[in-house]
Structures are given as C-alpha cells and as structure tokens.
Amino acid sequence: MTTTIEGTSTAPEHVSVGDVRARRGEVVRARLAVDGLDPAHHPYVTLVGGRDAGPVVTVVAGVHGAEVSSIEAARRLAADLGGHLRRGTVALVPVANLASFFARSLYVNPLDGKNLNRVFPGRPDGTASERLAHALVENLVRPADVVLDLHGGDIVEALDPFMMAEAPPGRGENAPALELAAAFALDQVLTGHVAGSLAAAATQLGRAALLAECGQQGVVSPLAVERLAQGVLRILDRLDMLDADARPSPPPGRPVYRPGWTWMNAEHTGFWLPAPAIAVGREVTEGALLGTIQPLDLDLPPQEVRSPHDGRILFLVTALSAVAGAPLCAVARPSAPWPLEA
C-alpha cells in the first residue's frame, strides 16, 4: 500500500531544497548557511535526487546533539541512499545542532543555553538556536511534503521507543502523519503537541510531520540505528520512492496507539531516586509511586512523584541529579483504538 503525497513538480532536470540543488539521480552534499552563525556550526545537508519527479522528504537528526543513535542512522542513510531513489527528493541532515553534538551537551545548545526543539520556527535575527531553527524551517521544512525528525533518549534518559504524530490542539488528528507513523514500525505511536518543536513548525506549514524516538543514554545502539534507518526507508517505500532492490522488509504489524502522554517535571532541586519497580516500558496505574526527590538538605523529607494516570513509562531520567523544572519521566496514556478506524 502506498500513501498518496505527490508533492510539487520541479524542473525535470534538477531538484532543489533551499539553496541546495542537484540533478535528477545525483547526490549533492553541502552546508546550510545560517546568517549570524559561525560557519563551523552550519549543518551538513545531503540532497538525493530521484530519477523522476515525486514527493520531497526531509530527514533531520541531531536537533539534540547527544541523541546519537538517531544521528548515526541519518548519517548512514546519507551515505547509502544515493542511486536507490526512483522518484522524488530526500534531504538528510545527520547533525542539525553541531555545537551541541561536539559539546556532548544535554538538551541545550551551548551557544545560547536554549533547547533547539523548543524555539521553532525560530527567528532570522534571534539567538543562535533561533537563527538555526529559522534556517532549517525555511530551507528544509518549507520545501518538503514530509518531515521526519529523528531523536532518541538523551545522555541521562532510558527510553521506550515510540513515534509521535504531531496533532496541534483543536485541529484533530493528522491522518497522513498517522498513516506514515504506522508504516515506520516502532512499537507504539502517540499523538500530541510539543510547542516550539520542529514537528510542530512543520505541521503548522501543512506538512506531514513525524518524530521518531529510539535509542538511549548517549550510546550508539546497533539495534536502534537499524530500526530508525529501516523506519525511514519504510516511509520512502510507502511513498513509492525507492527502487525495488532498496525496499525494506514490511512492517511486522500495526503499532499500539496511545493518545498522548504526560511529562513529569521536578518541582525541587535535589537527588532523584526512581522507585525500585519503575522502568521504561512498565505499565503503571494512577497514583503509583514513580520516585522521590530527596532535598539537598538531607534532614528534610523526600518529595514523592506519582503517576497522574494509568499508562506506560515512556522515558526515565537515570541521573541522580534533579533540577527544578527539568523532566524526570513521561507517562504515556493507555492504549486506544486507532483513530483512523474509530
């Protein structure tokens, strides 16, 4: 089965995404210029031109520079996809946030201390992260029909793999994104909205936007890399873009659908001690003890963190440190019928 996203036609001899231009059937590698940013931090882009016209798919990794399995998956795709694209165009950015990547920075861009995935669509005259976000949106998201944002558990996060189909409040389910999320074939698909994210900015422009989360704790996992790379290929296959010899294995079955999640953030700074029975992928009930925060003053009582509803642990911070306002874990909603079939 294919998903019908034909995309806009381009000149028959060439394809282009932003300022990067290639002939049909050609692979071009370039750097994305970002006004006001040191050229050392301009991300690399690989543009793969299919032999015939078709959809434009943008694949971005490294928005968070320490989510390394997703970065490695995008790097391998950028190295290997050339010559296998029958139609359409694929733009790949293995490391969007180079400053964060080389600083091995948790969550934030060290150039301005901001979380890049909270400042989209950015500003051309803003801080380093805002300028980078603006350049990515204008040059790689706006020309695309489908946007895939690859992530994985950061340095201190254990993670239960999932896909997210962006669903802005009040706009209902995004049917094309949900169909593609099912084809990606991670274990579960969630709908939700993350303000300031790349997926939110892409959805606001009318693009089918997906966020994939696989991998954890700053480790390159061969299994996570393979699952992410195969997922991207399944999306391209679903869009009828690949040569026959490059087609991936079919999805093993429809993932579980979960209508959203709740982030649990630290209310106080101190020592984070997850409950012994808590682990990613574990089902919990409303009110279950997720962990405690022991204040820095050890004579004060610990503060309990409890699940706000029944569900499943999506990610869990494994560091001892808890910083007020920072995430500790996320609880996904219980599984539900697929909305496209309800």
Determine the pLDDT at residue 16: 78
Place of tokens 């600083």: 103
Determine the pLDDT at residue 12: 62
Domains of the chain in sequence order:
14-257 (3.40.630.10), 261-332 (2.40.50.100)
Determine the pLDDT at residue 9: 45
pTM (two decimals): 0.93
Q: Do 96 and 44 form a contact (C-beta atoms < 8 A)?
A: no
Determine the pLDDT at residue 191: 92
Q: What is the pLDDT along the chain (342 residues), one digit of tens a residue?
A: 555 555 544 556 777 788 888 889 999 999 999 999 999 999 999 999 999 999 999 999 999 999 999 999 999 999 999 999 999 999 999 999 999 999 999 999 999 999 999 999 999 999 999 999 999 999 999 999 999 999 999 999 999 999 999 887 666 667 888 999 999 999 999 998 999 999 999 999 999 999 999 999 999 999 999 999 999 999 999 999 999 999 998 888 889 999 999 999 999 899 999 999 999 999 999 999 999 999 999 999 999 999 999 999 999 999 999 999 999 999 999 999 988 664
Determine the pLDDT at residue 3: 54
